[in-house]
Chain A
């Protein structure tokens, strides 16, 4: 296939400089004979001149039986750029922790080279592997070959979105539970909710092994599962002394004085922590990784309700369960999730995320409905306004 790769003077400006270039990537696929990639270059060059995108709303495309996993996309200049007239995306559920082998990666490339544009995203914002750009009639064959290889589609629309997690115990000494296993288990358990949208709006899970939150769960997921511990931080005083001797870090200034709880003290050789006051923020552990480690009684805090601004403003997740042991088969988390989905599913408005729903009906009412006891960990402080909706029993 000797199609000439389009000339893209404006985009070519983005092939300069030290950072790897996405234009270069699209060109690689175009040079490889992918007409869709070549037309993508054309459309994009045009967008760069006109300062506007040329993509239309999705409409109805998908694979048989699923309501999620495919993002339909059409171009508004189909005559000029016929090979991207359809440019649908498949979201492919990534393996936990985004681990691959060369072998599996090549097989995915084989499928995508055969049916699609040759362009991918590693990875999409939610965590899926994204196969970017194919025609409607390619969707079923791609899906068939992916499932043959052992992969399935991820979520989109008003469903459980593809859960994602940090690499957890696979590589991180701070992981307070097995994030990769929990992510896999929850994904498998809720396959129906992932593929067949039945919620008022999307619902995201993210699993972070500790408060450093490498997957941004507290900002980006309706249900954030963040690793923490109950007992005391483990201290290796010999290693503390090593750090003190080494001089690489000023323990008093950069660790003790930066502790938000003010619960540490250091006499020049021994580090002490008043663990009752510790907020498990991870700072001291980050700063002295060889000397400090999370406690031994580990689990997670479950927080609910984060979202981006649309519709009622951005939210961070807030504490629902201060401490949950995270052992397979994660029955408690599953039960809690089902209770939340039931209530929100029944009373949530269209496009209302669970965080907004909770704000509308009140956290207190929400907890009561799903059968969770209110605890002081759930609030920064008790209410300051006296407008209490008392509910009196008959006899009172």
Chain B
């Protein structure tokens, strides 16, 4: 048997770069979106690189990857890459390959788009496909939302600025969605259902108690078994306890669901990066197509599209018009759940008369 290799790290990226990139590495001059989903980067040397961007569902079968490999070979000398938002990009310096690439990808069902002021692919987590703490499915919601938002992906419709949507299926936020224009977040709404039978065997009681940020968990003997109990009023359904102890599941079909957050951004452009803020505290899970979530997202996007100025991201628009008007224009109800009551909550209270008419 060959010697076991470890700690070799990832392969060096250079071997995967197309020749036009190797030649012009660090010497790019500017870029343009030549048509929706197609970027043209121009180097100081005058060389041009065309990137044709196509949607993927992130979850990809090897059959699809092999098909991408075939397409890359046919048009791009075998070169392709993925973006940070699960789009695939085919890279060629031959302009005449762009048209056939676009046609081919659209035909195969991986539509071209995702550039410029519109909606690109949704970053998301695993949901019911693979996760143990999911309060909702991820891929199904993403698919349903993107089917509806599709004209903003393929360039048919434009928005004032980029709009980034992200999805996470529980508060762990493996996708760290908390700074997105629209964040869709799975939520639990009932305290853990403590499994006293397996508690002792599967969990350390002291670390389970310590895991709770609000101190809601205390050791208890239940039916003669060493276990824990949860002070229900103190539980904020964060599932941190479940992360350290499998005997504390929070998943429940009847009360789990989805919340929607708006106005976050990560880029520095114009305004500072911002967190997303709560727009809708709870929508029940409605598989397979989550119509209420889809319609709520649509409503928010359309209100934004109709009212924001060019270059204004969702959060910048809301900052300009104020939250009272955001709730009025979108018709979303403002409730007590919208008011923060965690650490430093007071910082979000209105402590001046500087609020605008709704």
Contact = CB atoms under 8 A, between A and B. Distances in A.
A and B touch in the complex (CB under 8 A): yes
Interface string B1-30: 010111111111101110001000110111
A58 B29 CA distance: 48
A265 interface: no
A32 B82 CA distance: 24
B281 interface: no
Nearest to B56: A20
B273 A48 contact: no
B26 A175 contact: yes
Given A48-B137, A187-B9, A260 B83 contact: no
Contacts of A49: 287
Interface string A152-175: 100000000000101101111101
A77 interface: no
Given A73-B132, A120-B65, A313-B342, A53 B251 contact: yes
The range of chain A's interface size is: 35 or more
B257 to A, nearest CB: 9
A56 interface: yes
Given A122-B88, A216-B176, A258 B270 contact: yes
Contacts of A147: 4-6, 8
Contacts of B88: 122
Interface in A9-50: 10-11, 13-14, 16-26, 28-29, 32, 37, 40, 44, 47-50
A119 B59 contact: yes
B101 interface: no
A81 B112 CA distance: 36
A98 B288 contact: no
A52 interface: yes
Interface stretch (B67-75, B226-234, B331-339): B67-75
B330 interface: no
Interface in B73-94: 73, 78-84, 86, 88
Given A121-B59, A147-B8, A44 B128 contact: yes
B268 A173 contact: no
Nearest to B16: A99
A28 B287 contact: no
Interface stretch (B240-248, B297-305, B348-356): B240-248
Given A169-B25, A219-B179, A97 B59 contact: no
A98 B89 CA distance: 10
Nearest to B134: A53
Interface in B28-71: 28-32, 41, 49, 51, 55-66, 68-70
21 contacts: A14-B288, A20-B111, A22-B140, A29-B61, A87-B130, A98-B81, A100-B16, A100-B82, A105-B69, A112-B62, A122-B58, A125-B175, A151-B10, A184-B9, A213-B273, A218-B273, A259-B270, A308-B171, A308-B177, A311-B211, A316-B179
Given A55-B134, A172-B31, A283-B270, 12 more contacts: A14-B140, A14-B143, A14-B289, A18-B111, A44-B129, A44-B137, A57-B246, A120-B62, A125-B175, A187-B9, A214-B84, A351-B243
